[in-house]
Amino acid sequence: MTFTEPVSTPLALLLLGRGTDPDSERGVDCPGELPPSSDPDLVARAEAARAALGDRAFVLGHHYQRDEVIRFADVTGDSFTLARDAAARPDAEYIVFCGVHFMAESADILTGPEQQVILPDLAAGCSMADMAAYQQVVEAWDVLADAGVADVTVPVTYMNSSAAIKAFTGEHGGTVCTSSNAERALRWAFDPVARGGAGGEKVLFMPDQHLGRNTAVRQLGLRLEDCVVFDPHKRNGGLTVEQLRDAKMILWRGHCSVHGRFTADNVAEVRRRIPDVNVLVHPECRHDVVLAADHVGSTEHIIKTLDAAEAGTSWAVGTELNLVRRLADRHPDKNVVFLEKTVCYCSTMNRIDLPHLVHSLESLVRGEVVNRITVEARMAANARLALDRMLALP
Ligand code: 13P
Ligand code: SF4
């Protein structure tokens, strides 16, 4: 089966210039008037709309969201816990997803057909997810087939990918993973008994090369030489047949534009500046950064590590700035600093602000659903196979 390539995220919509409201600087396809950000009544309006909706709405907030949005979230979490939380609320008519596009798509796939998923700003995409397009993945799989290795390869896609790529993964016997379960997902992929299927000599890991490499080398004990990078912009991914045959991990050439900016020099610099500092980074950081750090883990792991840390200890954290700032506020007894001064917020996560949230909630109160995210039924069914495999990982 093949899917026609949907525009993977609203970032692509912006680039294509489709659906752009010329009167609004803020985004695409956002019908109606957005309240101005200077409106002093925004908090009261959000509170009133939230109260009017009651249990009909369930508001999820990813840890990288702004404080002004997080305060209205019924639950906060990383991409894995939010996917699980969305699936666990079949009674909610509206799932208001304060996160990015691929997360809202996953929520739509995991919730019932009568439930409606809303992304308050449709321009909240993910540049990493945009680095793997469905057609490129189909072509990459053909390259693997020509090299005679497709049959022994299991696709594993990071949650940060379009629904079409999750569907491809589901259809080809693979799983989704997040940064909190990537090790378990890879162990499952390499274990034919656990999967109840053949193959599993290789993994095609999409789209974050860093998470794939860091997990394979740090947690599975593979060698760097076992990993090759498949560049979708080069003929045959820029790889020879021999390289494809020898590799265990075929890493898609994608990265996070936020975490990819931390460097090993940042780690060295913070160690000079703060004696006894503990360096804690997300596995989307580059391999040399992860090697230089003291602790590596998903967003949820970073939060738990700081919660458990002793008073008086110092921490330099390499992840999204909204979260690091919140953690610093939450732990005044610890010295929590951002790993690098010039790395900025995730610009797409930050697109969800209070005016967009108020606009979405007030529209729902009026019975008008704006910025709904839907995944076409056949694609959703195949993507669900991959998501369910993730949710069932041992
Ligand atoms: P988590 O899986 O840790 O929530 O990360 C999602 C993400 O977008 C990280 O950049
Ligand atoms: Fe995507 Fe990186 Fe932003 Fe996460 S932090 S949503 S991976 S661009």
Question: Average pLDDT in the 301-305 region?
Answer: 96
Q: For residue 292, give the nearest of 308, 274, 280, 276 by alpha carbon.
A: 280
Closest residue (by CA) to atom 2 of ligand 2? 256
The whole-number pLDDT of residue 341 equals: 81
Predicted confidence band of residue 221 (pLDDT cuts 50, 70, 90): very high
- 273, part of any domain: yes
Average pLDDT, whole number, for the chain?
A: 91
Examine residue 389 and state whether it is found in any structural domain, yes or no: no
DSSP bridge pairs for 250 = 204, 228
Which atom of ligand 1 is closest in space to residue 63's alpha carbon?
4
Cβ(79) – ligand 2 distance below 6 Å: no
Full-model pTM: 0.90
Confidence of residue 1 (pLDDT cuts 50, 70, 90): very low
Residue 245 and residue 15: Cα distance in Å, rounded? 37
Distance 79 CA to ligand 1 centre (A): 6
pLDDT, tens digit (0-9, with 9 covering 90-100), for 36-62: 887 889 999 999 999 999 999 999 999
The answer to whether residue 391 is domain-embedded is no
Q: So what's the pLDDT on residue 5?
A: 39
Residue 104: CB within 6 Å of ligand 2? no
Query: From ligand 2's centre to the CA of 256, what distance in Å?
Result: 6
Can you give the residue range of the structural domain that contains 334?
Answer: 259-338
Q: Are residues 94 and 201 in the same domain?
A: no
Based on the domain organization, do 189 and 305 belong to the same domain? no
Domain boundary among 318, 338, 358: 338
pLDDT band (50, 70, 90) for residue 22: very low
Residue 274 to residue 169: CA distance in whole angstroms: 44
Atom number in ligand 2 closest to CA 348: 3
Count other C-beta atoms under 10 Å from residue 26's C-beta.
Answer: 16
- Neighbouring CB atoms inside 10 A of 385's CB total 18
CA of 66 from ligand 2 middle (Å) equals: 14
- Grade residue 199 by pLDDT with cuts at 50, 70 and 90: confident
Domain count for the chain, please give it: 3
Mean pLDDT of 345-352: 95
Ligand closest to CA 101:
2
Same domain for 183 and 216, yes or no, is yes
Per residue in 148-161, pLDDT tens? 999 999 999 999 99
Residue 377 has pLDDT above 90, yes or no: yes
Determine the distance separating the centroid of ligand 1 and the alpha carbon of 172, expressed in angstroms. 24
**CATH value at residue 167:** 3.40.50.10800
Whole-angstrom Cα distance, residue 218 to residue 206?
A: 18
* In a domain? residue 82: yes
pLDDT at 16 over 60: no
- Contact status, residue 297 vs residue 305, Cβ threshold 8 Å: yes
pLDDT, one tens digit per residue, over 174-193 is: 999 999 999 999 999 999 88
Confidence of residue 32 (pLDDT cuts 50, 70, 90): low
